[in-house]
A = this chain, B = another copy of it.
Amino acid sequence: MSQSIHAALSADPNADGAVTRAQGFSACGFTAGIKESGLPDLALLISDRPATAAAVYTQNQSTAAPVHISKAHSANGALRAAIVNSGNANCATGDQGLADAREMTQLTASLLGCEPDDVFVNSTGIIGHYLPMALLRAAIPQLSPTSDGGADFARSIMTTDTFQKEAVATFEANGITYTIGGCAKGAGMIHPDMATLLAFFTTDAPISADVLDASFRYAMDRSFNMVTIDGDTSTNDSSVILANGAAGGESLGGEALDAFTAALLEVATTLAKMMARDGEGATKRISMTVSGANTWEDARDVARTIVVSPLLKAALSKYDPNWGRILMAAGRAGVPYDLDQVRIWIADLCVFDGTATNVPEEEASAKTQGEEVFLRMDLGQGDAEATAWGCDLTEEYVRFNADYVT
């Protein structure tokens, strides 16, 4: 078994069109006129045959209408298509919003000759406005997905993202080469619990629905659920995978399933890290590893709590190696530790080992100046470890979010 992963900090030409790289998938983007900017705002992804499916959704109580519909449609572990618009979130829109989301699946089903409940639907954009259904009724029947349409799909779901986020991996199992492709959009309101973002994964591997569900949740917990931009979570967050088995072979299990899960985690982690880097106003990614914890959950909770701290994020925007803020932020994660046993590193420099190590500040500051800052805190308790990703906090974030008028 072997794997090869193509992805990078920003858009990687080797991952272009990732979501249609697996056999049997087509996609497209379209300009329906929902966005005033005239940028593409409608996207369709389809499998040419029935596919098993798994999905995870936002935990936010203010759930948007399409999330309710998609939850119902994905519950049986089978989907054929995903229809998505950007520019309007169809959230806080009451019964009309539910009817509109349902109609989007009906229009898509008519186009494809499938059932509405084979269609996943989502929306992203402003909250509290009804969807412009006249535009969607005109646009959806015109959609024409192709096997090289993955990049257009990825572009059409973007809102405030500054670059497309695509990643692809292949793995070999039982003598067959399988492909997993994914794309995602960010870039504000991102926080654990299935944070913003919409993400779409496709694979031509054959996998039963319940096995796919377990593998998908495992990968999501260790990738998208470890990204935090600002602590806010979206009303529309959803991530979905379709597995159509087009590359042939028997339903994956055992080592073949392990290879699939590893490749899926790589694709998802690559996309998650891209989202951290593309946080609104961000100039760098923060990679926060917590080690020496008693459990993975403890390590996760501390890492996520640190990486969302506005005080730490602001410090790092100006190369300030302010490890006091790491200690301060860690302390509210709800995980007990003994401060005397704690150690903190900035890159490979140990700056705290129960007390300050008095590393010269210029030396520590130099370690914070790249595109990515690597921080580690060891709790001195056990062997568990987790990494969370975030970004720095800049004046640009505030300017952007103050000026983005509803």
Contact = CB atoms under 8 A, between A and B. Distances in A.
Nearest to A317: B402
A322 interface: yes
B318 A402 contact: yes
Interface in A319-342: 320-325, 327-333, 335-337, 339-340, 342
B192 A128 contact: no
A2 interface: no
A355 B94 contact: yes
Contacts of A403: 318
Contact of A314 (B320, B330, B331, B402): B402
Contacts of A398: 314, 317, 393-395, 397-398
A153 B340 CA distance: 33
Interface stretch (A36-44, A45-53, A225-233): A225-233
B354 A94 contact: yes
Contacts of A394: 398, 402
A15 interface: no
Contacts of A126: 324
Contacts of A195: 311
Interface string A79-120: 000000000010111101100000000000000000000000
A322 B352 contact: no
Contact of A92 (B89, B192, B335, B356): B356
A137 interface: no
Contacts of A308: 231
B234 A193 contact: no
A293 interface: no
Interface string A54-70: 00001111110000000
A156 to B, nearest CB: 22
A311 B401 contact: yes
Q: Which 5 A-B pairs have the closest CB atoms?
A: A127-B324, A60-B331, A314-B401, A62-B331, A318-B402
27 contacts: A59-B332, A60-B328, A61-B336, A62-B339, A62-B342, A63-B331, A92-B324, A92-B339, A94-B355, A96-B355, A126-B324, A127-B324, A191-B332, A193-B324, A193-B325, A230-B311, A233-B328, A233-B331, A234-B328, A310-B310, A310-B397, A315-B401, A315-B404, A318-B402, A320-B405, A321-B406, A322-B406
Given A59-B332, A129-B356, 17 more contacts: A60-B331, A61-B330, A62-B342, A91-B327, A94-B339, A94-B340, A128-B352, A192-B311, A192-B315, A193-B324, A231-B231, A232-B311, A234-B328, A235-B331, A310-B397, A314-B397, A323-B406
